[in-house]
Structure 1
Amino acid sequence: MLATTRLFWILLLACLSPLALAERLRLVSDDWAPYVYQQDGQPRGIDYEVTTQVFRRLGVEVEWQFLPWKRCLAMIEQGLADGIVDIFQFDTRKPYLVYPTEPMSDVEFVLFQARNRRHAVTGLDDLAGLTVGTSPGYTYGAAFNDSPRFRREAAPTHEANFGKLLLGRIDLLITDRKVGRYLMRQLGLEQRIEALPWVVSRQTQYLGLTRKPGREALAQAFSEELQRFKQEPAYAAISHRYIGDIGNILNAVEQQESSTSR
């Protein structure tokens, strides 16, 4: 049955878009390690490898370009790229984006602080009068984005935000839990910076494809193949290669938080 379904979507893709299997898709994203990023000029990351593997199975060649996130969003909206990796679903993006139903990964936005300048934060009200480091073009949830109680200050890179935090130029920074933990380990900051337990918001990341003839079929074929790939040992091996024990620890924390919040 699974083989029949897979063949159906591949044939449908070929029928609806004869050029889909021959063209090279231009995908854009920013440096969002460990999900997708560049190292020594080469693309890397969990979602990079997964996306590449799934498209390879579909016979679709992809080309990657890394740009600041705001520019990625502008290119997608203007139809200057074929797709964008690790984007959230919003109604305002549906006129120009098609999403596979199967997500790439989940994001959990939390706050990070310097261990020598701790803040007791369990909600937005506790941020009153503080400055929180953000990233241009990122959405952390309406409540956080629109709150007038604290100041948001953007930095060009995630690494720059961690530097500002260490120097005391911002009080806190916000980013995905896995991204923050990964950067802390890479920058050797695990003894100087820590994550707060409060979760600001949770989001799901998807591949987004610009709306063109045949893209709905391509998105569905991608979703079907991604679902299958997630059941294989190779998928778990990719995640472990980038986050290893960090991933196991974070999964345990998330399960504990989920059980205590019900």
Structure 2
Amino acid sequence: MKRLALWLAMSLPAAASGAGEAIRYCDHPVYPPISWTDAQNRVRGVAPEAVRDVARTLGMDVEFVQLGNWTRCLMDAAQGRVDLVIAYRSPAREETLRFSRVALLREEVALFFHRDRPIRVSRLEDLARYRGGLLFGESYGQAFDRFVEAHGNVERVASNEQNFGKLARGRIDFLVHERRTGQLFLESLDGAGRIEALPQTLAVDYLYFAVSRRSPLQGRMAEIDAALQGLAERRQVERWLRESTEAYRATQARTGAR
């Protein structure tokens, strides 16, 4: 399971950036407070702040790329059309992406359900009797990915609004999401008052800088790790989390989102 020009693009030239040029960073900003868009369609959150900060350390600019869903970001990174995404590490992704050694952020993955339709889960296999929801391109570890592939009971959609809306209407029984993001999103979603997360954690994962193996930027992984380590030592990510959470809530209050 992470950018000031904003690129709204469906495809990009094949050549990736190198040292002294701009880093092409792809984001699917539907994960507040990690990554989201405000009323002016600006990408906000911990992930874009971190990318800007690391890029400055490298002496590079950033070009932000928004595509239709997270799968498109991963595909463009794999093919070298963008240089960087922020993502969870997995063996499949490591075939096309080089991950930083230093993590940007720890994430807790939770199961969300409707109180009127409680689910009883003590192990992963218990989910086989329920219908679930995910966003396109999401991966929550090898065990869960294998479970989804084997059972075929998880539907994928493009947005949180769709997923939580399906859960509220009873079209699915659970959805898998980062606990922090899911709970923040529910604060401003109409009809979400009866949706909650199971207390147990499905998985703990970490977000990393992931650089395309076709990008010259992979030659600067040591510098990226040093910059990320600096963020950790300054506790900058914690400050960005607080600021982004407050900004997201203020934006939702102004727009009257429900």
- The TM tier, using the shorter chain, reads 0.7 to 0.9
Shift of 1:79: 1.0
Give 1 or 2 for the bigger CA radius of gyration.
1
In the alignment of these two chains, the number of paired residues is: 225
SS at match of 2:188: helix
Equivalent in the alignment of 1:33? 32
Q: How far, CA to CA, are the matches of 1:77 and 1:216 in structure 2?
A: 13
Identical counterparts, % of pairs = 28
State the one-letter code of the partner of 1:177: R
Change in 2 beyond 3 A, CA 1:125/1:213:
closer
Q: Which moved more, 1:176-185 or 1:96-105?
A: 96-105
Superposed CA deviations along residues 207-261 of structure 1, whole A, max 9, x for unmatched, are: 11123575344221121122112222544321111236xxxxxxxxxxxxxxxxx
Change in 2 beyond 3 A, CA 1:39/1:177:
same
SS at match of 2:210: strand
SS at match of 1:27: strand
Equivalent in the alignment of 1:66? 66
Q: How far, CA to CA, are the matches of 2:124 and 2:92 in structure 1?
A: 26
SS at match of 1:197: coil
RMSD over equivalenced CA pairs, Å: 2.3
Equivalent in the alignment of 1:132? 132
Equivalent in the alignment of 1:79? 80
Equivalent in the alignment of 1:53? 53
Aligned 1:99-178 pairs, distance under 5 A: 99-147=99-147, 148=150, 151-178=153-180
Structure 1 gaps of 5+ residues are: 1-18, 245-262
Shift of 1:112: 0.3
Equivalent in the alignment of 2:14? none
Equivalent in the alignment of 1:240? 242
Say whether the 8 Å CA contact 2:28–2:66 is kept in structure 1. Answer: yes
- Report the TM-score when normalising by structure 1: 0.77
SS at match of 2:126: helix
Q: How far, CA to CA, are the matches of 2:166 and 2:93 in structure 1?
A: 32
- Report the TM-score when normalising by structure 2: 0.78
Change in 2 beyond 3 A, CA 1:146/1:229:
closer
Equivalent in the alignment of 1:22? 20
Shift of 1:184: 1.0
Q: Which moved more, 1:208-217 or 1:22-31?
A: 208-217
Equivalent in the alignment of 2:196? 194
Say whether the 8 Å CA contact 1:38–1:66 is kept in structure 2. Answer: no
